[in-house]
A = this chain, B = another copy of it.
Amino acid sequence: MAVISGFPEYLPQARMVENRVLDILRETFELHGFANIATRSLEPLEELSRKGEITKEVYVVRRLHAEEGAADELGLHFDLTVPFARYVLDHAGHLAFPFRRYQIQPNWRGERPQEGRYREFTQADIDIVGQETLGFHHDIEVCLVMLEALGHMHDEVGIPPVLMRINNRKVVQGFYSALGVSDPLAAIQIVDKLPKIGAAAVGEILSEQGVSADQVEKILALASIEARSTDFVDAVRGFGLESDLMEAGLAELVGLFEAVHRRFPDNVVVDLKIARGLDYYTGSVFEVELVGNEGLGTISAGGRYDSLATDGHHTYPGVGISFGVTRVFAPLLSKGVLAASRPVPSAVLVAVDSEETRYQADDVAAALRARDIPCEVSPSAAKYGKQIKVADRRGIPFVWFGGTSGQVKDIRTGEQTDADAGTWSPPVEDLRWSLVHA
Please name all residues of chain B whose beta carbon is closer than 8 Å to the beta carbon of A56 when the two chains form the complex: 63-65
Interface contact A90-B42, CB-CB below 8 Å:
no
Interface contact A9-B40, CB-CB below 8 Å:
yes
CB interface residues, A 20-56, toward B, < 8 Å: 30-45, 47, 55-56
Interface contact A374-B86, CB-CB below 8 Å:
no
Q: How far is the CB of A39 from chain B (nearest CB, A)?
A: 6
Assembly CA distance A110 to B44 (angstroms): 15
User: Is the C-beta of A170 less than 8 angstroms from some C-beta in chain B?
Assistant: no
Interface hub of A31, A36, A94, A359 (most chain B Cβ within 10 A): A31
CB interface residues, A 350-409, toward B, < 8 Å: 355, 358-359, 365, 369, 372-377, 379-380, 390, 393-394
Assembly CA distance A33 to B376 (angstroms): 5
Q: Interface size on A (CB < 8 Å)? A: 88
Contacts A11-B91, A60-B63, A110-B64 given; indicate if A41 touches B344 (C-beta within 8 A).
no
User: Is the C-beta of A327 less than 8 angstroms from some C-beta in chain B?
Assistant: no
Q: How far is the CB of A124 from chain B (nearest CB, A)?
A: 14
Interface contact B90-A1, CB-CB below 8 Å:
yes
Assembly CA distance A120 to B39 (angstroms): 11
User: Is the C-beta of A164 less than 8 angstroms from some C-beta in chain B?
Assistant: no
Interface contact B31-A369, CB-CB below 8 Å:
yes
Interface contact A61-B38, CB-CB below 8 Å:
no
Assembly CA distance A38 to B373 (angstroms): 24
Provide the main secondary structure of the chain A interface. mixed
Assembly CA distance A343 to B379 (angstroms): 44
Interface hub of A4, A12, A36, A45 (most chain B Cβ within 10 A): A12
Interface contact A61-B36, CB-CB below 8 Å:
no
Contacts A60-B62, A87-B9, A90-B2 given; indicate if A346 touches B33 (C-beta within 8 A).
yes
Q: How far is the CB of A254 from chain B (nearest CB, A)?
A: 15
User: Is the C-beta of A106 less than 8 angstroms from some C-beta in chain B?
Assistant: yes
What 1/0 mask marks residues of chain A from 66 to 77 whose CB sits below 8 Å from any chain B CB?
100000101110
Interface contact A42-B7, CB-CB below 8 Å:
yes
Interface contact B64-A76, CB-CB below 8 Å:
no
Please name all residues of chain B whose beta carbon is closer than 8 Å to the beta carbon of A55 when the two chains form the complex: 64-65
User: Is the C-beta of A138 less than 8 angstroms from some C-beta in chain B?
Assistant: yes
Assembly CA distance A98 to B393 (angstroms): 11
User: Is the C-beta of A436 less than 8 angstroms from some C-beta in chain B?
Assistant: no
User: Is the C-beta of A10 less than 8 angstroms from some C-beta in chain B?
Assistant: yes
User: Is the C-beta of A428 less than 8 angstroms from some C-beta in chain B?
Assistant: no
Q: How far is the CB of A41 from chain B (nearest CB, A)?
A: 6
User: Is the C-beta of A137 less than 8 angstroms from some C-beta in chain B?
Assistant: yes
User: Is the C-beta of A158 less than 8 angstroms from some C-beta in chain B?
Assistant: no
Among B4, B47, B95, B345, the residue within 8 A (CB) of A35 is B345
Interface hub of A34, A59, A359, A377 (most chain B Cβ within 10 A): A59
Q: How far is the CB of A56 from chain B (nearest CB, A)?
A: 5
Interface contact B2-A86, CB-CB below 8 Å:
yes
Q: How far is the CB of A293 from chain B (nearest CB, A)?
A: 25
Interface contact B108-A63, CB-CB below 8 Å:
no
Besides the contacts A31-B369, A135-B379, what 19 more A-B pairs have beta carbons closer than 8 Å? Answer: A3-B90, A4-B40, A4-B42, A9-B40, A9-B87, A10-B38, A11-B91, A12-B95, A15-B37, A16-B35, A18-B38, A30-B345, A31-B345, A32-B375, A32-B376, A57-B64, A59-B64, A61-B76, A63-B110
Question: What are 24 A-B contacts with C-beta separation under 8 Å?
Answer: A1-B90, A2-B43, A2-B90, A9-B38, A10-B37, A18-B38, A19-B36, A31-B373, A33-B374, A34-B344, A41-B41, A42-B120, A55-B65, A59-B62, A59-B64, A60-B62, A60-B63, A62-B110, A96-B343, A135-B355, A135-B379, A135-B380, A137-B358, A138-B379
* A-B residue pairs, 10 tightest by C-beta: A33-B376, A63-B110, A33-B346, A12-B35, A7-B40, A30-B345, A58-B64, A31-B369, A56-B65, A96-B393
